[in-house]
Structure 1
């Protein structure tokens, strides 16, 4: 039994040390790799252009060699041999760096394995994690929350809430009675801040794992689609759905989606920023180093940056999968594969016989395409016979009048009627617009004419009465409709067009 357990543990250890993260930490030049990657990539600089990375890493390598760090105390070689470009290529093959295209630039990014390795190295070189009140409280609160979420018993949940309410009320009563808030010692606050930093240092690796899982799913989907081993309809249905629900296709994506529901609320992020400002104003933060204070202030920004990277990876994966499904052409893909295979075969045949810096004859022009037989004549653009004459509309004037009857307000006729009505009732005080409309002939008593009358009254000047006026309008087909609107009146002086020009709005 013991031998079996040892063999299983050894097999698990062998598999673990094949992980790129442990390979980085266990490598011969691990201190150099950790130092260079930690300086080149920071929380504010997640991606670095390839050209800039080669130049910066080359400068670091030259500086370390010039200052005598190339050899250890026992004559051991401490720095790798080669240029910065060669080292970056090795790190890409080892799985520590990712080479990607962002916009028009080619950039390097840390892989999730490299982020985890840098986190482990940073914790080992910094202060050790201590068993403290804050750490134990975090564990107990997590277990309590897990028990509450897992327990479906209503009475138990009510009892817990009642107990919590009683504790809160007792604390409020004590504060009202004494007016004194219990202070916490600076050492305890400092320990809690260190626990927060310990938790937040694990976030970049978690976000990077989510991004890489999404990209791995994207590559698998595109590869399976290009193989074309299933019916096209089945491929379309499955991969369009996976492209739509890319966050639900991986375990890391599902976990991130659950976390996003909590940290995606802008109010939570605003509260987090306000709480961090409050903490940084406290005197206990003076005992922290500048790097720790800067790291504590950047907690919110680190979360926002990680969320943005995951969402960008999700959007890119959805776009790539959807584009591949829409433009999938098995015949063309096979031609491209054959072309690339021919290129690789040519390189394999040419490389053994070539010499360094050997000139290569360039391709002067592209081969001509075989177009086959082209058409030598075009169709006659002119029609074989003239178009048919236009249909006779008959009585055009009646058609125009009928169209006008269903058109907009007749402003000229309405304004003439209004002027005549105001002149006939001059000296009788304010004139009700509803009465003016009721006295108009049926030709200008349509629903749209009511709007035209109100528009003219508003332009000349009117005042609201606070009452509801009711009128009867006649449509062009003779159907009568009743309308109600806020009552308005016009004064005698408006008959001459001397209104104020400022009327009250009509509802």
Structure 2
């Protein structure tokens, strides 16, 4: 044995055994932890409500103690209640506590899933060197060589050889040849190999989801400590949020796998293939747990994909929300306040006595600033406005008619409309405006005319009318509006006069 590198190898082994998965497996109470987690978390139940988990673990402890376990030294059971145990497992990295649909739940971490898979492989059916496993290895090596070889002629030769083999097999079957059957033992080995490969998937999916969540925490932590301009932070972190699947090795690997298994057609084909396998007689040789596990492969893949995509969506949402609401100064103030509170607790707790009454803090203290300035205006007393200058009647009055730039001339417009109607029941508003004199044909007068006919009652003609308005400076503006027929204002005015005489 070469002992020159033993120190580096030993350091590597020490680091490996600090992994939470190996830490779980070599703990004193590892059999109990593995048993409880395996029974509580199943492919159909990836998340368990916190209250339900505590109740189930407490029930499992009570049943095992009632059966006599935990009394002897070689069959230990952990002390403490279920809540404390779950807290320890979360701290050790075997469980993850999170909120899902407003309910606190526990999920297995990637380390917890890996530990259960290792325990299941060691305690279950032992993996054998079989034809199926060797063929899987050879096919993977062949595929790797084909993907790595850039020689076009070699690739074409391999494809032609495969095509010739397929054609000969097809011709044999067309001539009435029988399908070569496979012995049940070989099918059983192939099924065990499939289960061995499928057992690796949950831990892989969990590692991808946890790497995304770890990146989310890193991004938020960096953002809280950032003092760069908000625009720069927005551009950088929102871009990282959109491309979060490309930021970690696990995410990039999952993105590549997702192109194969993310297609619904691929999942449907997998379901059909599994149903075909389960209809075969050799599956009767499989234990019931393995048959159930074989039937649930597609479901476990779907659940894993959904878990990773949900972690990706949540990370993008958290990063985007943090960027939008980010205030570095406020975050630093909150951190300083919390540190002051913790320092005060550390100073107070050693000198306090058990059962000592604590005066509650109703509100946080505020700075004592004495007298603040209440105004920033001129300290001199306010002065009244300058009196208006007396207008001498002898001064010349400006000749310009400032009314020409004022609002609508309602009286003149109503009189013109009545004169243009000339006793008719209805009047075309566009024609009446075109016939008006220039002083009442301003753009503002068009609005006033439409206001008048709206009060009188009007009917849409369904056509678009255009009119030319003249501004006081002589410039013209063309307007378009929906054509309308208005009621004659003369009868309405006469009716109003008659009503006034009757009242008198």
TM-score of the aligned structures, taking structure 1 as reference length: 0.72
Q: What's 1:51 paired with? A: 51
Superimposed CA distance per residue, residues 61-115 of structure 1 (whole angstroms, 9 cap, x where no aligned partner)? 111112111033xx34611111111111111111111111112111111111111
Structure 2: 5+ residue runs without aligned partners?
Answer: 376-404, 418-426, 435-459, 466-482, 484-504
Evaluate the alpha carbon distance shift between residue 373 and residue 26 of structure 1 in structure 2; reply closer, same or farther with a 3 A threshold: same
CA distance in 1, matches of 2:363, 2:11: 57
Evaluate the alpha carbon distance shift between residue 336 and residue 288 of structure 1 in structure 2; reply closer, same or farther with a 3 A threshold: same
Q: What's 1:389 paired with? A: 407
How far the C-alpha of 1:235 sits from its partner, in A, is 2.7
Q: What's 1:413 paired with? A: none
Q: What's 1:162 paired with? A: 160
Pairs within 5 Å for 1:403-418: 404=461, 406=463
Tell me, what secondary structure is at the counterpart of 1:178?
A: coil
Structure 1: 5+ residue runs without aligned partners?
Answer: 376-386, 409-475, 477-507
CA distance in 1, matches of 2:21, 2:221: 26
Pairs within 5 Å for 1:387-466: 389-390=407-408, 397=428, 399=430, 404=461, 406=463
Q: What's 2:31 paired with? A: 31
Evaluate the alpha carbon distance shift between residue 135 and residue 76 of structure 1 in structure 2; reply closer, same or farther with a 3 A threshold: closer
**2:88 matches 1:90:** yes
Q: What's 2:175 paired with? A: 177
Evaluate the alpha carbon distance shift between residue 207 and residue 354 of structure 1 in structure 2; reply closer, same or farther with a 3 A threshold: farther
Evaluate the alpha carbon distance shift between residue 181 and residue 342 of structure 1 in structure 2; reply closer, same or farther with a 3 A threshold: same
Specify the structure having the higher radius of gyration (Cα).
Answer: 2
CA distance in 1, matches of 2:163, 2:67: 64
Superimposed CA distance per residue, residues 418-449 of structure 1 (whole angstroms, 9 cap, x where no aligned partner)? xxxxxxxxxxxxxxxxxxxxxxxxxxxxxxxx
RMSD: 2.9
CA distance in 1, matches of 2:270, 2:322: 41
Tell me, what secondary structure is at the counterpart of 1:4?
A: coil
How far the C-alpha of 1:51 sits from its partner, in A, is 1.3
CA distance in 2, matches of 1:391, 1:253: 73
Q: What's 2:242 paired with? A: 244
Q: How many residues align?
A: 396
Superimposed CA distance per residue, residues 149-206 of structure 1 (whole angstroms, 9 cap, x where no aligned partner)? 1111111111111111101001001111124111111111111111110000000000
Tell me which of 94, 115, 129 is aligned to 1:117. Answer: 115
TM-score of the aligned structures, taking structure 2 as reference length: 0.73
Q: What's 2:447 paired with? A: none
CA distance in 1, matches of 2:215, 2:191: 37
How far the C-alpha of 1:364 sits from its partner, in A, is 5.7
Evaluate the alpha carbon distance shift between residue 359 and residue 196 of structure 1 in structure 2; reply closer, same or farther with a 3 A threshold: farther
Q: What's 1:198 paired with? A: 196
How far the C-alpha of 1:45 sits from its partner, in A, is 1.1
How far the C-alpha of 1:28 sits from its partner, in A, is 1.2
How far the C-alpha of 1:346 sits from its partner, in A, is 3.7
Tell me which of 235, 244, 251 is aligned to 1:253. Answer: 251
Q: What's 1:457 paired with? A: none
Evaluate the alpha carbon distance shift between residue 316 and residue 152 of structure 1 in structure 2; reply closer, same or farther with a 3 A threshold: same
Evaluate the alpha carbon distance shift between residue 234 and residue 368 of structure 1 in structure 2; reply closer, same or farther with a 3 A threshold: closer
